[in-house]
Amino acid sequence: MRLYVNGIGMIGPGLVGWRDHQAVLTGTSPYRETMRPEPVASILPPNERRRSSDIVRWAVHVAQEAIEQAQVNPREVATVFASSCGETDVLNRLCTALATPQRVISPTLFHHSVHNAAAGYWGIATGSQQSSTALSCYDSSLCAALLDAAAYVHIEGGLVLLVAYDLPPPLPLYATRPLREGFAAAFVLAETPGQHSLVQLDLSLSDDLSLNVTSMEEAGLETLRSTNPAARSLPLLAAIAGHRATPVCLEYLEYQRLSIRVTPCRS
């Protein structure tokens, strides 16, 4: 199945913005993992920005970057938000309050606990009334989102904004899912090529487990890839940054692979 990437957003340690840091992914710039990302998410109204969790700002930040690069009206773009663990900071605060004798929880905290909180905030910030899905597929959340977005653009037409994001959970939840670093990536995907198309993606599902899963050459990036479900997008981002035809193979659950042929739309 074929689709096109019209815009990209990226935030993670040493990877603060697609435009400035894609050269890190191709190895032409050094990877400085100590560079700490600070999501801005300026599209959020001040009130919403103040109330939102860190993870919402990470997700909205890359969504905004991708949409601006694609130069599209976000009200015309459906969304797929993918996170393995979702709002762990909010869940920690809720479960802490529920473990007290009074069990008093804030109504704001409660409606921020939904897995589609980031998707909801994006909708509020943009006023978009297009379809929005929030999903989880544990370590394969990115692959599930790519399939969901690809099926959407093919059946429904138009554009889809895919956002993959995961942050390390706070203590004590961290023990359940020790993600070392945060990462978020966003892609604006289209069924047909346009003037802003960066690459063409040809996706195919395979049950041939002998296909080697693509890893990152740089050790620090490989650690990031293998320890954050959203950073499983790094090989795809690196292939797009490479500006040449490149095969990428992602692990999809235990028994499948998602093969992606990445072909540049312009040199």
Partner 1 sequence: MKCEKSVMAPLVLSAYTLVSALGKGLEPTYRALRDRRSGLRPCDFEDVGIKTYIGRVDGLEDSSAGCGSTAQELEQFDCRNNRLALLGLQQDRFMQAASEARDRYGAHRVAVILGTSTSGILETEHAYHERDPQTGVLPASFTSRYRYTHNMFSLAHFVRTCLNLRGPAMVISTACSSSAKAFATASRFIETGFCDAAIVGGVDSLCLTTLYGFSSLELMSSDPCRPCDEDRDGLTLGEAAGFALLEKADRAEHSGAVALLGYGESCDGYHMSHPHPEGAGAIRAMHDALRRSGLTPGDIDYINLHGTATRANDSIEDKAVSSVFDLSTPCSSTKGWTGHTLGAAGITEAVIAAMCLTHSFVPGTLNTTRVDPNLRSYVLLENREQPVRRVLSNIFGFGGNNCSMILGTL
Rounded CA separation 259/115 (Å): 28
Write each residue from 195 to 234 as x if it is in contact with partner 1 (CB under 8 A), else as -, in one continuous string.
Answer: ----------x-x---------------------------
> Judged by CB under 8 A, which stretch of 9-17, 59-67, 112-120, 239-247 contacts partner 1?
112-120
Pick between residue 141 and residue 246 the one whose CB is nearest to partner 1: 141
Assess contact for 35 and 16: CB atoms under 8 A: yes
Rounded to a whole number of angstroms, the minimum distance from the CB of residue 234 to partner 1 is: 21
Residues 21-80 that bind partner 1 (CB under 8 A): 75-76
Rounded to a whole number of angstroms, the minimum distance from the CB of residue 267 to partner 1 is: 29
> Judged by CB under 8 A, which stretch of 142-150, 160-168, 182-190, 259-267 contacts partner 1?
142-150
**Maximum Cα–Cα distance across the chain:** 63
Residue in 6, 22, 126, 214 binding partner 1, rule: CB under 8 A = 126
Residues 157-186 that bind partner 1 (CB under 8 A): 157-158, 171-173, 175-177
Burial 158-179 (b: 16+ CB within 10 A, else e): ebbbbbbbbbbbeeebeeeeeb
The conformation of residue 223, written as its DSSP 8-state character, comes to H
Residue in 148, 223, 227, 247 binding partner 1, rule: CB under 8 A = 148
The residues, any chain, with a CB within 8 Å of residue 197's CB and separated by 6 or more, are: 4, 5, 6, 190, 265
Query: SS3 for 138?
Result: helix
Nearest CA among 251, 229, 91, 81 for reference residue 167: 229
Rounded CA separation 183/149 (Å): 20
| Site residues, partner 1 (CB under 8 A) | 1, 75-76, 83-86, 91, 94-96, 98-99, 103-107, 110-117, 119-121, 123-124, 126-138, 141, 144, 147-148, 150-152, 154-158, 171-173, 175-177, 205, 207, 252-256
